[in-house]
Structure 1
Amino acid sequence: MADIVIINPRFEPSYWGMDHLLPFMGKAANLPVACLPLLAALTPEEHTVTLIDENAEEIDFERCAKADLVAMTGMSVQRFRMKEILGELKERGCFVAIGGPWITVQEDYFDDEPADVIFIGEAEETWPQFLKEWKQGLHQYRYEQADKTDMSKVPTPRFDMLDMKKYAFGSIQFSRGCPFQCEFCDIIVTFGRRPRIKTNAQVIAELEAIRKTGLRIAFVVDDNLIGNKKAIKEVLREVIVWQRQNGYPLSLFTEASIDLADDAELMDLMVEANFIATFIGIESPSEDSLRETKKFQNVRSGGTLLEKVHRIQNAGMEVWCGMIMGFDSDDAGIFDRQVEFIQQSRISFSMSGMLSAIPKTPLHARLEAEGRLDPADRSEFGTNVIPLKMSREELLEGYFEVLNRLYEPQAYFDRTDALFLDPNFDYGITSKKRWWKISRRWFLSEMQCAVEGLGLFARLMKNVPEAELRQEYRKRFKRFIKVHRRPGLVLFYVFHMAMHYHTWKMAKAMSSRSQQLVNSF
């Protein structure tokens, strides 16, 4: 039997980290990374496992030093902290295993102070294999599965091993993989282009596990939920049945490609399953940029990008998006075009960033061959890509300009209210059914959301130091409650206020260089 500690390092302040928002909600982190509770579920019962998410609690290095094995995961944005943790663990004589997205694309990154074991790619097969070999004293240094994981065999994550009250949202997974070929994306490198999906029974078991934590909102972390439309429709039908039988205990949001707008049945099923929002990689309003990066799904027929965004919103889901600046065809005019598109699209949350080349992606290989990669691990320009039609200084300053213009209060609330102040606007199941007729559970949840929303608004009024922002928030809230009377919608609108404060503060801090520069906001 082994005593195992598994660590997820803290993230640097970022758009999705919600660092300036979470204190208002009384939460330590936005959501748990999917791998921690999954690795715990994959560990044979003969071993003991302790999960440490540094975003929710401090790492107890004394505890780690007593463990037989310390495992650590991490994404590209966590790599600097991963190095610091690895150094501390090795200094204490820990046996360390490293896996996750970053080491999968950059295997030699930790060679200066190497781990004892590394895992490349998925680990549903290799993690149990390693533990068996380690017990026998025969473990290897490098593990990589010969085949992609059979998702029908993935166990239900052990959410019970995390203090879920510390998180704002839950996280669950229906599928892996994406059928598209975007040049800059590492998803197809890690998970492949053939979408693999869990069985209906697995999905329902995972929903039940999240429901037991008491959380009411969960992020479906699939990189493209609709990669296999036929298969996901069958899953969604089962989710709808589960939601109805249980009084709709969960509101869901996810990531999907823009071709969702071309499938009315699929949008309808998602809304019936109570998906309230979806993140979409729009990337650019420039068709030349989209074709250049092989984002062909964004330039297909069936309407403009703007029309498709509005179609999804009108179906009953809010759209969040990812936008990128610095493609080869982008010149200095792209910054105005980005802002104009976001304003017209009625998208509150845009994770805007500069093009970055991740190792092992087609983009990285192409730019390396062209001699257009900055070798610095932490570039002063925020990206390792050297653009073609503008200087690096122009790209960085344009990036700051876009962030500040998007999250200037007037611009932010104008596009938010263009959606929210439509008297017919609502999302998820309440866009289809009267909220007081859905279920007793839902009725009580509406009341709870209203109380929480008013509490969050009060905390904003008390703790936001900028008087002009507090005044703007009061003005916008008064306009909102004159239009909408659904109690639960109060929390979502006030959340948009709190998210504005986070993004506004991030944009100001980065552009003034009072905070560490992060790309993709």
Structure 2
Amino acid sequence: MTSSLYIINPAADFPTYFGAEILLATGRRPGVMMADLSSTTVAALAPRDFSIEISDEGVAPVDFDHDADWIAITGKVSQRRRMIAIADEFRRRGKKVIIGGPYASLSPDHLREHCDVLVSGEMEEIAEEFFADLRAGRPRDRYIGDKPSLATSPVPRWDLYPNHRAMLGAVQTSRGCPFECEFCDVIQYLGRKQRHKPIANVLAELDALWAHGFRATFLADDNFTAYRAHCKELLAAMAHWRRDGHPMDFVTQISIDATRDTELMDMLVEAGVHQVFIGIETPNLESLRETGKRQNLKIDIVGEVQKLIDRGISVMGGMIVGFDHDGPDVFSQQYEFAMSTPIPIFSLGALMASEATPLFDRITREGRLLQGTVETQAVPWGSNIRPVTMSMEELNEGLHNLCNALYAPSAFGERMLNFIDAFGRARGPSDATIPDASSFREIEQEAVQIAADVRKLGGAEGRMWNKVWGAALRKPETVKIVARIMFQYAQARHMFDRGNYWEPQLAFAPPRREVLATAAVA
């Protein structure tokens, strides 16, 4: 007996810093920043006699008339409302619904009443039993996966995915993180012991992504450089793979402590890792101690970030306000800190107590957990924690002002010019040329046009764009990454607009260094 499965990755409940909703907002076909690993991996775990179709709602609408035997929905907390809405609509139509993924693993009780089958945890070790039960038409109402070896994780079914509308491919090279940040939910369902995918398997997945047209890929690790010896072995293999005719660019997440290893930074560059996200969180040392982010203590964060950019690795920074040790002056502190760095893009948010985290347990014990608020730090508005040192109104207003200040054209432009000036200077002169955009895929060409259209947002944006783009053209090795960052800026501005968060004025004193006023225009 064969079965059919319609696997759905729902749209996010709201635009996020690292989404691509700006595509649809500017009259283009919808698309996503990163191709979805969850749906394609589940499809790869299914027996080949199953009939499977994948729907990524960030790319195309869900087909509520689909005739599949089973509707399988995955998703994160930032997709929670849409997951539930889709599940309820299919069940209203008489369909059997399965829900799994990160949110189902962390908050199963919130989803139990919305599905017929709930899958928590990782799926590799339970897949055989799960799909056998589906084929027999007698699945249990709950399956709980453990923490399998990643050698058992198959190459995702990219042949079933709308790759043409995703900017980045995705490969997961490890699961888990050895750190103990109080607010982080990763270790709650993936564990503190980091498990690594065999390097040969990673390269096989890269081959598959290359064959499907991807030329940039997100390495979906929560801490790519946590285990230095393994990371260096993988980077060496990736560098060899790139030299063997696969000039792929990579984006990933690392910890700031990776900058203590000069060889590691150089190997990141050689392997094509040209952009990284770092959870900087705050310059407030007491807040770092409070949340257990010890790896960010006893270092000069600005100086360590500079090391990466000097080598040709751009940095995106995570920034959080609302720790118990944050006073009302934290917003100006964060602004001054950010403006001292060459980091153009910061994801800003208030501290959030995600379910199943130590922070959630502590805030609940203290009676400070607020109900009915947003549940994710993927957006800057709202928190589910009653602050200690300020009112909720002060927290929201301060964060609102900080977003406006850091993304004001003059402030953003200053950081961009500092970034361009520093990018790759430790490696000496480059023979790079300006890339030919005509060779890009359609969605990449659209992203470049959106980046160019930032100049049309207003007079200040136009002046900023002219100076930044002129500086990039004079340093061709920065053109591709500057275009990507400008797209991210456009997405952030769209997110602020959708959240009624954007007001075109600085909320803090303007930067002391008038870089934009003196920069030459190409």
Taking structure 1 as the reference length, the TM-score comes to 0.89
CA distance in 2, matches of 1:94, 1:107: 20
Query: Which residue identity does 2:196 align to in structure 1?
Result: I
1:219 equivalent to 2:218? Answer yes
Aligned partner of 2:280 in structure 1 is: 282
CA distance in 1, matches of 2:332, 2:422: 26
**CA offset at residue 38 of structure 1?**
0.8
Query: Which residue identity does 2:328 align to in structure 1?
Result: A
Q: How does 1:230-241 map to 2 (within 5 A)?
A: 230-241=229-240
Aligned partner of 1:363 in structure 2 is: 359
- The structure 1 residue matched to 2:480, chosen from 491, 494, 501, is 491
Describe the shift of the 1:46–1:121 C-alpha distance in structure 2 as closer, same or farther (beyond 3 A). Answer: same
Describe the shift of the 1:75–1:261 C-alpha distance in structure 2 as closer, same or farther (beyond 3 A). Answer: same
- What secondary structure, in the 3-state scheme, does the structure 1 residue paired with 2:15 have? coil
CA distance in 2, matches of 1:49, 1:171: 20
* Between 31-40 and 180-189, the greater mean CA deviation after superposition: 31-40
Question: Contact 1:419/1:425 (CA < 8 Å) preserved in 2?
Answer: no
Gap regions ≥5 residues in structure 2: 504-522
Q: How does 1:400-411 map to 2 (within 5 A)?
A: 400-411=400-411
**CA offset at residue 306 of structure 1?**
1.4
Gap regions ≥5 residues in structure 1: 437-442, 515-521
- What secondary structure, in the 3-state scheme, does the structure 1 residue paired with 2:368 have? coil
Root mean square deviation of aligned Cα: 2.7
* 1:474-494 superposed Cα distances (whole Å, 9 cap, x missing partner): 24323432x3144xx323323
Question: Contact 2:309/2:422 (CA < 8 Å) preserved in 1?
Answer: no
Question: Contact 1:3/1:49 (CA < 8 Å) preserved in 2?
Answer: yes
Question: Contact 1:21/1:501 (CA < 8 Å) preserved in 2?
Answer: no
Aligned partner of 1:480 in structure 2 is: 472
**CA offset at residue 21 of structure 1?**
5.3
**CA offset at residue 129 of structure 1?**
1.7
CA distance in 2, matches of 1:418, 1:62: 52
Question: Contact 1:381/1:393 (CA < 8 Å) preserved in 2?
Answer: no
**CA offset at residue 498 of structure 1?**
3.1
Number of aligned residue pairs: 495
CA distance in 2, matches of 1:294, 1:401: 27
CA distance in 2, matches of 1:215, 1:158: 14
Describe the shift of the 1:450–1:18 C-alpha distance in structure 2 as closer, same or farther (beyond 3 A). Answer: closer
Aligned partner of 1:76 in structure 2 is: 77
CA distance in 1, matches of 2:25, 2:425: 29
Describe the shift of the 1:137–1:156 C-alpha distance in structure 2 as closer, same or farther (beyond 3 A). Answer: same
Describe the shift of the 1:71–1:474 C-alpha distance in structure 2 as closer, same or farther (beyond 3 A). Answer: same
- What secondary structure, in the 3-state scheme, does the structure 2 residue paired with 1:125 have? helix
Aligned partner of 1:293 in structure 2 is: 291
**CA offset at residue 86 of structure 1?**
1.0
- What secondary structure, in the 3-state scheme, does the structure 2 residue paired with 1:180 have? coil
- What secondary structure, in the 3-state scheme, does the structure 1 residue paired with 2:103 have? helix
Question: Contact 2:493/2:502 (CA < 8 Å) preserved in 1?
Answer: no
Query: Which residue identity does 1:131 align to in structure 2?
Result: F
Aligned partner of 2:189 in structure 1 is: 190
**CA offset at residue 321 of structure 1?**
1.3
Question: Contact 1:233/1:266 (CA < 8 Å) preserved in 2?
Answer: yes
Query: Which residue identity does 1:84 align to in structure 2?
Result: A
- What secondary structure, in the 3-state scheme, does the structure 2 residue paired with 1:345 have? coil
CA distance in 2, matches of 1:381, 1:128: 42
Describe the shift of the 1:26–1:467 C-alpha distance in structure 2 as closer, same or farther (beyond 3 A). Answer: farther
**CA offset at residue 511 of structure 1?**
4.5
- What secondary structure, in the 3-state scheme, does the structure 2 residue paired with 1:30 have? strand
1:510 equivalent to 2:499? Answer yes
Q: How does 1:11-410 map to 2 (within 5 A)?
A: 11=12, 12-20=14-22, 28-63=31-66, 66-111=67-112, 113-145=113-145, 147-246=146-245, 248-299=246-297, 301=298, 303-378=299-374, 382-410=382-410
**CA offset at residue 231 of structure 1?**
1.2
- The structure 1 residue matched to 2:462, chosen from 470, 494, 503, is 470
CA distance in 2, matches of 1:351, 1:458: 20
Question: Contact 1:454/1:490 (CA < 8 Å) preserved in 2?
Answer: no
CA distance in 2, matches of 1:119, 1:382: 29
**CA offset at residue 386 of structure 1?**
0.9
Describe the shift of the 1:7–1:26 C-alpha distance in structure 2 as closer, same or farther (beyond 3 A). Answer: closer
**CA offset at residue 259 of structure 1?**
0.8
Question: Contact 2:310/2:422 (CA < 8 Å) preserved in 1?
Answer: no
CA distance in 2, matches of 1:462, 1:60: 34
* 1:18-72 superposed Cα distances (whole Å, 9 cap, x missing partner): 3225767866111122111111111111101100000000001101xx1111100
- What secondary structure, in the 3-state scheme, does the structure 2 residue paired with 1:108 have? helix
Aligned partner of 1:440 in structure 2 is: none
Aligned partner of 1:500 in structure 2 is: 489
**CA offset at residue 421 of structure 1?**
2.9
Query: Which residue identity does 1:472 align to in structure 2?
Result: M
* Between 287-296 and 454-463, the greater mean CA deviation after superposition: 454-463
- What secondary structure, in the 3-state scheme, does the structure 2 residue paired with 1:168 have? strand
Question: Contact 1:5/1:50 (CA < 8 Å) preserved in 2?
Answer: yes
* Between 133-142 and 179-188, the greater mean CA deviation after superposition: 133-142
**CA offset at residue 177 of structure 1?**
0.7
Query: Which residue identity does 2:216 align to in structure 1?
Result: I
Question: Contact 1:218/1:250 (CA < 8 Å) preserved in 2?
Answer: yes
Question: Contact 2:309/2:423 (CA < 8 Å) preserved in 1?
Answer: no
**CA offset at residue 157 of structure 1?**
0.9
Question: Contact 1:31/1:170 (CA < 8 Å) preserved in 2?
Answer: yes
Aligned partner of 2:509 in structure 1 is: none
CA distance in 2, matches of 1:352, 1:324: 6
* 1:211-234 superposed Cα distances (whole Å, 9 cap, x missing partner): 111121111111111122211211
Question: Contact 2:432/2:476 (CA < 8 Å) preserved in 1?
Answer: no
- What secondary structure, in the 3-state scheme, does the structure 1 residue paired with 2:109 have? coil
Query: Which residue identity does 1:121 align to in structure 2?
Result: G
* 1:178-227 superposed Cα distances (whole Å, 9 cap, x missing partner): 00000000100010001111111101101111111112111111111112
Describe the shift of the 1:432–1:213 C-alpha distance in structure 2 as closer, same or farther (beyond 3 A). Answer: farther
Describe the shift of the 1:378–1:318 C-alpha distance in structure 2 as closer, same or farther (beyond 3 A). Answer: closer
Aligned partner of 1:519 in structure 2 is: none
* 1:262-284 superposed Cα distances (whole Å, 9 cap, x missing partner): 11111111111010011011111
Query: Which residue identity does 2:214 align to in structure 1?
Result: L
* Between 30-39 and 406-415, the greater mean CA deviation after superposition: 30-39
**CA offset at residue 424 of structure 1?**
5.2
CA distance in 1, matches of 2:311, 2:502: 41
Aligned partner of 2:510 in structure 1 is: none
**CA offset at residue 315 of structure 1?**
2.5
Question: Contact 1:407/1:507 (CA < 8 Å) preserved in 2?
Answer: no
Identity of aligned residues (%): 33
**CA offset at residue 457 of structure 1?**
4.9
Describe the shift of the 1:504–1:425 C-alpha distance in structure 2 as closer, same or farther (beyond 3 A). Answer: farther
Question: Contact 2:177/2:226 (CA < 8 Å) preserved in 1?
Answer: yes
Question: Contact 1:28/1:56 (CA < 8 Å) preserved in 2?
Answer: yes
Describe the shift of the 1:292–1:454 C-alpha distance in structure 2 as closer, same or farther (beyond 3 A). Answer: closer
Taking structure 2 as the reference length, the TM-score comes to 0.88
- What secondary structure, in the 3-state scheme, does the structure 2 residue paired with 1:184 have? coil
